[in-house]
Amino acid sequence: MAYNEFAYFYDELNQAADYDALYAYLHGELERHGIRDGILADLGCGTGDLTLMLSQAGYDVIGIDCSEEMLAVLREKADELGLSGRILLLRQNLLQLDLYGTIRAAVSSFDTFNHIGPQDQFAKAIRNAGYFMEKDGVFVFDLNTPYKHRCILGNECFDFETDDALCHWSNHYEEATGKVDIGIRIHDKITGEDFEENFSEYSYPLQTVTALLEQYGFSVARIADGEDFGPVREDSARWIITAVKQYTQEEREENHG
């Protein structure tokens, strides 16, 4: 899924997000596992507030997104902060990820991995996230939970208004699959133009997520509530998961012939 025109309204419509708290948690998890510098990939970086914070903290950040419009917004922010030379931006689908070398860590936020697709595609994205990662590398990512899809998004509709836009958000929930089909209609109050985007989110049982991480060489180090960063609850709307890579790709290939 790639946001198009929605990218230019994303920050305004997402202004309630607490980037400072998210950054503090992610940075804390990276440091807890000894990742204080080196190459870090932000998978599904979007408009890049977190990407920029991690770059300012001293990481060599690769920002990856499949939306050229999202990357354009991030590129402009990086230029304004004088960081454009320190961040490598790649337009890539996470199912065809190619980082051209190894990384020490990866992060992914705001339910990027829920947008990947059905479980087989989600599994491929997990595998790709670990493929280029060094041994003892750290992957910290969040997921919207099945509870959120069923009980919060469900078949609900939401309306948002900002200084520049009106947004109508509608959901259709499939009980059998846990998938939520989402439609967004945006009215640009400045130009009078209307835009529409449609995409889907998929949720996966936590046991499935941890099993796939282990299958592709990760050890799950911590699972927390993705909004208050405390213990996971039955009604947690988001999980945030820290996983540590147990071996390099070369070691895996040697052990499996």
Residue 162 has a pLDDT of: 83
pLDDT at residue 2, rounded to an integer:
45
22, 115: one domain: yes
DSSP one-letter string for 6-67: THHHHHHHTTT--HHHHHHHHHHHHHHTT--SSEEEEET-TT-HHHHHHHHTT-EEEEEES-
Number of domains the chain is built from: 2
Percent of the chain with pLDDT over 90: 74
Query: Does residue 41 share a domain with residue 133?
Result: yes
For residues 179 and 212, membership in a common domain is answered with no
What is the reported pTM?
A: 0.91
**CB 134, CB 248: distance < 8 Å:** yes
Residue-level pLDDT at 227: 95
Q: Report the pLDDT value the prediction gives residue 248, as an integer from 0 to 100.
A: 72
Q: In the numeric block, which tokens belong to residue 37?
A: 């510098």
Are 213 and 227 in a shared domain? yes
Reading the block at residue 106, the tokens are 């990866």
Specify which residues 139 forms β-bridges with: 106, 243
By C-alpha distance, which of 67, 62, 144, 141 is closest to 109? 141
Same domain? 89 vs 216: yes
- Co-location of 76 and 134 in the same domain: yes
250 belongs to a structural domain: yes
Within a domain: 39 = yes
- Domain boundary pick from 183, 201, 219: 201
Q: Tell me: the pLDDT tens digits for 176-226?
A: 888 999 998 989 888 898 988 899 999 999 999 999 999 999 999 999 999
Does residue 2 fall inside a structural domain?
A: no
Give the pLDDT of residue 1: 47
Which range marks the domain in which residue 136 is found? Answer: 7-145+205-255
Ordered mean pLDDT values, 10 residues apiece, the chain (257 residues): 56 71 97 96 94 96 93 93 92 94 96 94 96 96 97 93 88 92 90 90 96 96 97 97 87 58
**Are residue 189 and residue 222 in the same domain, yes or no?**
no
